[in-house]
Amino acid sequence: MSEQPGTPPGEAPPPTRSRRRGWGPVWWQLALFLAMALLLNYWVASRVTTGPPRISIPYSPTFLQQVEAGNVASVTSKGTTIDGTFKRALRYPPGDTKATRTTLFATEVPAFADTQALAALLQRHDVVVTAKSPSSGTSWFVTLLLYFAPTLLFIGLLVWLFRSSTGGAGGSLMSFGRSKARRVEGTETGVSFEDVAGIDEAKAELAEIVDFLKSPEKYRRLGGRIPRGVLLTGPPGTGKTLLARAVAGEAAVPFFSMSASEFIEMLVGVGASRVRDLFSQAKAEAPAIVFIDELDAVGRSRGGGFAGFGGGHDEREQTLNQILTEMDGFDSSTGVIVLAATNRPDVLDPALLRPGRFDRRVSVQPPDLNGRRLILGVHTRGLLLADDVDLGALAATTPGMVGADLANLANEAALLAAHRDHERVEMADFSDALEKILLGTERKIMLTPAERERTAYHEAGHAVVAMLTPGADPVRKVSIIPRSTSLGVTFSAPTSDRFNWDEQYLHGKIATMLGGRAAEEVVFGNVSSGAESDIQQLTELVRVMVGRWGMSPEIGPITVLPPESESRFFGMAEGSPEQQRLVEHEVHRIVEEAHAEVRNLLEQHRDQLTSLALALLEHETLDESGAYAAAGVASADDAVTRR
């Protein structure tokens, strides 16, 4: 099964983590609140200090003219500023019809003005004159507003920050040490064992965990102890996360889910604090399940690692140490079970895997033929399928695919059917969707006639060699339509799942890979760059056969190449330089012998090669029956008989 790349139609959507309500992240709220408070403070202060609105008029000639006209009732002097009242409302500027009439005005007395003459003029026209000190008239409220309001506001923000940091774990300033685990009630996961198909062995092992969570007394009565930790291992997409959610759904207990990378922050000690908080929450809700995804993000081996490399920084090691301590600090009677998932169990610290911590390992491997059929059944529940859809036949053409791949296949088929305006999803939609996933999207490029002919013979060479070589996989489709980085494709797949590759089967794969290049040599007398991918794949395959699988009489059953997990990261090799040279010599010998056999085979069956190439030039794409018919072979089974 897949690890929930999307919710299959007809199933309840996965629970989502509750989000903090409001305007957005806490820092945006703070910024908005601070800006609004400061603007309000400015507006109130300006209104209190300036009083009612007044029109500003020039001292000369407007103010002096109004005094001489007897229109000024009173004035108040405050330094060089004069505020006054007209007897009759005045509009200023005089010609501005949009200006408001008012009796309140203000003006500034120039420094060079004759104040004694001004005083005499005001007295002569019976203007009431008062005076105020520039610093007088400011009330205690205005002083508090102007000088202390920003300080009080800042103190209030600090108090609010402190209160919010201690009141929840979501996004506040002091909440770095709180766990970010998503808590879901088991009944709300929307997943049960019925939704997990194709991995029955893993389900059977986890059924015991579910039974313990439902009936713990049955085990305690006999003195049994349920494993404290269960480690789910397997390739990506096989359904490890989905299995963990299904366990919680079946047991109907709280489910705390968190990725191991979420423990780590830039601040030292945060990861360990989050581990403590996570386990505290789980113990408070016991019985409960704690699920840590991608455990290798913090659980990598401490110390030297591979060949002196590895280890980790202090924060990761502190987090790992805290996980080890927490798993030692509770027993199975608390009802808390830790599930963890990783696709790299080989790099985990041995302290994690010892009995008493993760003392049970459940391997979740890619499904077999029947498992893929069941998985397709789960992912096509909500699809409107046509009568010609055969999930068994579709499962047979998808060897090696895991649940996530099959979920993607079902979705791509549904999208393709909708794009084609089909009433139901047809088998052709699944076939084309599989072709798109495995071979890539069609490229709209125009090949020259010479390039198109060379591509047709190249793909025909692959197909004919696969049809006529014992042990090779049957040809399912041949196409000269450019896809992804290739100008054509030949798709071969076994009739049943293979769990062990013998030498005959491997030599059949090598011969098929060499068929395209050999066909170009036979037909055109030269080769092109079109065989680059084929050469790379067969070289890697032959090198593994010789250096790791002991399939060379010169090397013998000796491992000369490192395990895949180590070579993937360090590119290292085992053995002496002489052994390495011998490996390369054997790789070259096996490839050259296979190349000579393939070329000889195509020269003997030149007519079949040409017939298939001409059919490809005419139809561009041939399915299994069309390809075998064009090559003069009735079916794949008949090809085996003729060998």
Among all residues, which ones are annotated catalytic? 459
Across 575-603, b (16+ Cβ under 10 Å) vs e yields beeeeeebbeebbeebbeebbebbbebbe
Longest Cα pair distance anywhere in the chain, in angstroms? 134
Q: Are strands 81-90 and 72-78 parallel, antiparallel or unpaired?
A: antiparallel
The two tokens of residue 135 are 């610093």
The CA-atom distances, in angstroms, between 37 and each of 33, 34, 105 are: 6, 5, 31
Q: Where are the beta strands (DSSP E) in 51-153?
A: 55-56, 72-78, 81-90, 102-108, 128-132
How far is the C-alpha of 302 from the C-alpha of 311, rounded, in Å?
Answer: 5
User: Which tokens sit at 503?
Assistant: 């030498």
- Per-residue DSSP letter, 261: G
Tokens of 139: 């009330």
Indicate if the alpha-carbon torsion angle 306, 312, 318, 322 is positive or negative: negative
How far apart CA 539 and CA 613 sit, in angstroms, is 26
**What's the Cα-to-Cα distance from 39 to each of 44, 141, 153, 155, rounded to whole Å?**
9, 18, 12, 17
Helix (H, G, I), strand (E, B) or coil at 542: helix
Q: Are 498 and 368 in contact (CB under 8 A)?
A: no
* Measured torsion, CA atoms of residues 624, 626, 628, 634, in degrees rounded to the nearest 10: 110
Residue partners of 563: CB distance under 8 A and separation at least 6: none
**Rounded-to-integer distance, Cα 195 and Cα 38, Å:** 56
Per DSSP, which regions of 210-350 are E strands?
A: 229-233, 255-259, 288-293, 336-342
Question: What residues does 348 pair with on adjacent strands?
Answer: 300
The alpha-helical segments, DSSP class H, found in 469-576 are 503-524, 532-547, 564-570
Q: Which amino acid is at 550?
A: G
Count CB neighbours of 467 within 10 A. Answer: 27
